[in-house]
Amino acid sequence: MLKGKIIDKALSTAESIGTDRSRCLRMRFNRNLCSGCTSMCRSGAITIDEDVHILADNCSECMLCVSACPSDSFEIRGSDFYSLLGRLRKIQSSVRTPVLGCNIRTDAACHGKTFCFGFLSEEHVIALSVFMGDTLQIDMTGCADCRNGFIVDVLKKRIERVETKTSLRLSDRIKLVHSKADLDFQEIAYDRRGFFKALKNLTFMQAAGLFDNDDSGEEMRSYSLKKLPFKRELLNRALKVLPEEAGRGLVRNYYYTVGVTENCNNCFACIGMCPAGALKIEETGEGRELFFSSSLCNGCGLCQDFCMTKSVRIEKGFSGDNPFGFSNTKREVLCTA
């Protein structure tokens, strides 16, 4: 069995982005016109017809599509942002300013390697700034010569946008380093014990990779399955540890409110449409009503577009007390209502 797996691994295509059409807004609702990924893609590698395709020959793996999709239709194979975050945090005990590098460049020294920085959405940089106790350096020294050089501007703009929307001062926490002279890379000094421990960890991780069931291509991806997009999960985690004042800015700009007008006939079709599971039915004294949780909403707006009585309204910003709870959409206070 292991032999087969190893051969499979060796022969499998190197495509690093997987797609899941059941999450795609245009697949879920045929009148939706979302062009988040196609407008972002500079190489025209994405086509959407009966499925979401990435043309491997054209794709430069800048990962912009991954960060642009509101509902996680794209997935970077083998990426684990949490373990990357954990590793960088751990390193901070010995190195003050860890360096995050990308795996397009194989020669550069860094403390953690990830895919092209294009996958770092606004939500990702918020999480990085919140969870990295001290300064993180992002090694962009190679970007100028890279086919994905445009990422520098994209990431800069994303950081700026977060700073204008919230009170988070990201530039103090995340440093985009463009020239080698500015890069402050410190080797982690491993003692003998540390070296063998690292070697053991590495071996285990590689072995685990062989045994995990990543035959995702054949897995039944049910449209009705609710899945909270990773970006939203990151934001929720960040919100829980942020001080109240900063948190309020986050909730105002990155969270959403869904409310319904009195025209709502309780058909609950929006519940099925929602890819993230932010809507549900709850029994109240007046019968079954539609309830909404802001922490589970990715703001894709499918519920509003799909509503047959045109009574669902989605708005940016959440003004309630607790974005993590469910509340009745009939009583939801909309700013423009």
Partner 1 sequence: MPKYGMVIDLQKCVGCGCCGMACKTENNTQDRAKGQTFNWADFISRTEGKFPNVKITFMPVLCNHCTDAPCVKACPVTPKAMHKHENGMTIHNQERCIGCRLCQQNCPYSSEDVDKSKAAYSVISFNDFNDEIHPFYKDTKELIPGCTSSGAEVAKKAGDTPPHRTLYKHSDYASVREKGKVEKCIFCEHRVMKGEKPACVASCPAKARIFGDVSDPNSEVSQLLKKHKAVNLKNNKGEVLKGGEKGTQPNVYYIKSFMAGAKKEPAKAKKA
CB of 25 to partner 1, least distance (A): 10
The one segment of 28-36, 61-69, 173-181, 242-250 that binds partner 1 by CB under 8 A = 28-36
d(CA 325, CA 317): 15
Instruction: Return the residue of 29, 82, 185, 326 that touches partner 1, per CB under 8 A.
Output: 29
328 binds partner 1 per the rule CB under 8 A: no
Q: Of 251 and 302, which CB lies nearer to partner 1 in the complex structure?
A: 302
Site map (CB under 8 A) of partner 1, residues 185-204, x = contact: --------------------
For the chain, the helix, strand and coil percentages under 3-state DSSP, each to the nearest 5? 40, 15, 45
Choice from 224, 243, 286, 287 touching partner 1 (CB under 8 A): 224
Alpha-carbon distance of 296 to 233, in angstroms, equals 8
Question: Based on the number of CB atoms within 10 Å of its own CB, is 180 exposed (0-12), middle (13-18) or buried (19 or more)?
Answer: exposed
Contacting residue, 22, 121, 141, 293, with partner 1 by CB under 8 A: 22
Q: Which residues pair with 75 in a beta bridge?
A: 18
Q: Looking at 84-92, 105-113, 218-226, 227-235, which segment touches partner 1 (CB under 8 A)? A: 218-226
CB 103, min distance to partner 1, A: 34
Residues 6+ away with beta carbon under 8 Å from 27: 21, 48, 51, 52, 73, 223
Rounded to a whole number of angstroms, the minimum distance from the CB of residue 72 to partner 1 is: 16
Among 28, 111, 173, 232, which residue sits at the site for partner 1 (rule: CB under 8 A)? 28
Told to check if 31 binds partner 1 by CB under 8 A, we report yes
Strand partners, 284: 287
Q: Per CB under 8 A, which of residues 269..288 are in contact with partner 1?
A: 269, 271-273, 280-281
Least distance (Å) between residue 274 CB and partner 1: 9
Alpha helices in the chain (DSSP H): 2-11, 25-28, 36-40, 64-68, 81-91, 122-131, 151-165, 170-173, 192-211, 230-241, 244-254, 269-273, 302-306
What is the DSSP secondary structure assignment for residue 171, as one 8-state letter?
Answer: H
Should residue 221 be labelled a site residue for partner 1 when binding is judged by CB under 8 A? yes
With 0-12 CB in 10 A as exposed, 13-18 as middle and 19+ as buried, what is 99? buried
3-state secondary structure of 272: helix
326 contacts partner 1 (rule: CB under 8 A): no
CB of 282 to partner 1, least distance (A): 9
Q: Name residues contacting partner 1, limited to 40-59 (CB under 8 A).
A: 50-51
Contact between 71 and 21 under an 8 Å Cβ cutoff? The reply is no
Rounded to 10 deg, the angle between the 244-254 and 151-165 helix axes is 120
Q: In angstroms, rounded to a whole number, what is the distance separating the alpha carbons of residues 67 and 63?
A: 7
In the complex, minimum distance from the CB of residue 31 to partner 1, in angstroms, rounded to a whole number? 7
Q: How far is the CB of 201 from partner 1 (least distance, A)?
A: 38
* Binding residue count for partner 1, defined by CB under 8 A: 25
Task: Report in angstroms how near the CB of residue 8 gets to partner 1 at its nearest.
Answer: 24
Using the rule CB under 8 A, is 310 a contact of partner 1? no
Binding residues for partner 1, rule: CB under 8 A, are: 21-22, 26-31, 50-51, 220-224, 267-269, 271-273, 280-281, 306, 308
